[in-house]
Structure formats: structure tokens, C-alpha cells
Amino acid sequence: MRLLVAMHLLVIASLLFSTTAAAMPLSKPGSRAVDATQRTLARTRPSATDTNQLQPFLSLAATVSPEAAAAGERVLLRWEVMNLDRQVVEGITFQADLPDGLLVTPAEVPPPLVYDAATRRLTWVISALPAGDAYAATVPARLSGRRVGDVVTVRAELRLADGRSAASAEAGVHVLPPAAQATRIGPEGGSVTWRRGGLR
């Protein structure tokens, strides 16, 4: 009789143990198995910088000569574009918006620059600029309609084929007073005229 009771107890204990084991999770939160899965997902998820395009290294220099002039005098605008990257850059667009104080005659704008009189914008399309090369363009302009002491500033920008801005530059010219003029009668009746910058 005692033997039968003992056998029944063993069977009941075995059933209870198997039920408890089936209900237990294979791994708890924070275990090594879960941590390893999280690390794998973190390695395979692309970062934000992986999807960004590399931007080529271009430089843009702008100059105005002379740096000071009176209203009505001519100045020369010059820009230089240089590719400081290790490979050729294609589809570069140069744009310069001229302020009201500078007048440009369309017939005097040399290629490769193109002037739009309606928007007062100079455009220059560079199809390909090899690594280490530099291209330059100049255009004459006339200073007009500004007060003495003002600075007339020209701003320019380089844009890539996808529309991104690659470089920018600006240069200015100081507005001087009108040329001083004086006339004196010479010893023999002739006249001598002085203007700023020398005799005329």
C-alpha cells in the first residue's frame, strides 16, 4: 500500500515539474541572447551620414579693381573658381547678382559669362572642372548712383548639378567723391587743369 502511494506521488511531482518548465521563458529580458540580437540590429542599421552625398571641395575668389572709385568710373570684376578636390567636378553653375550701384553693358560681357539684364544676374556654367584646375572670368562695370562713402558689394555663389551650394564669395568697391578739378591760367595765357590722379 505504501509503495502504491509513493508511486502516485512521484507521478504527480513529475507532471508538475514538466508543466512549470514549459511555462518558463527561454530567456529573460536583459539576458545575453537578447543583448546579442540588439547589438546585431544596431550594426546593420545605416547611420544618417551613410546616406549623405559627399560634397566636392571647391573655392571661389572674388575681386574688384580698383577697390575705390567715384561715380561714373569703371571697375573690373573678377572671379576665380578652383577645384581643390581629388577628382573632376561636373555641372558647376556660377551666379553673381549685381547691385544697383554697378552698371554692366551686355555687349561688354565676355564669354563664358552670360548676363541677364532683367534679373541683373551673371551666369557661368562650367561643364567640367578637373582636379587642381582653376578657371577665371572678368567683366567690366561702371559705378553709378551711390552716395559717397558707400560700399557696393557683389555677391557670387557656386552651385552643384544637384542644386547644393558649394562655395560663395563677395567683393566690394568704396564710393569716392567726384574727381576734384581746378583750372589756372598759365604764364603764357594757356590753362592747366588738375584732376584727381594727375594732369589732364
What is the pLDDT, as a whole number, of residue 174? 95
What is the pLDDT, as a whole number, of residue 30? 45
Query: What does the DSSP assignment read for 148-195?
Result: TT-EEEEEEEEE-TTS-EEEEEEEEEEEEPPPPEEEEE-TTS-EEEEE
Whole-structure pTM value = 0.64
73 DSSP 8-state letter: -
Q: How far apart are CA 130 and CA 137, in angstroms?
A: 17
H/E run at residue 124: strand 121-129
Backbone φ and ψ of 32, nearest 5°: -65, -35
> Which residues, including other chains, have CB under 8 Å from residue 138's CB and lie 6 or more apart?
76, 77, 78, 79, 110
Q: How far apart are CA 181 and CA 57, in angstroms?
A: 50
**pLDDT tens digits in sequence order for the chain, 200 residues long:** 555 545 555 555 555 555 444 444 444 444 443 333 333 223 333 333 334 668 999 999 999 999 999 999 999 999 999 999 999 999 999 999 999 999 999 999 999 999 999 999 999 999 999 999 999 999 999 999 788 999 999 999 999 999 999 999 999 999 999 875 444 445 554 444 445 444 44
What is the pLDDT, as a whole number, of residue 187? 52
Which strands sit side by side in the sheet containing 58-65, from one edge to the other?
A: 58-65, 74-83, 134-143, 102-103
Q: How far apart are CA 198 and CA 114, in angstroms?
A: 36
Pick among 3.50.50.100, 1.10.10.10, 2.60.40.1530, 3.30.70.1400: CATH of 58-176: 2.60.40.1530
137 DSSP 8-state letter: E
Which is nearest to 134 in space by CA: 173, 92, 75, 97? Answer: 92
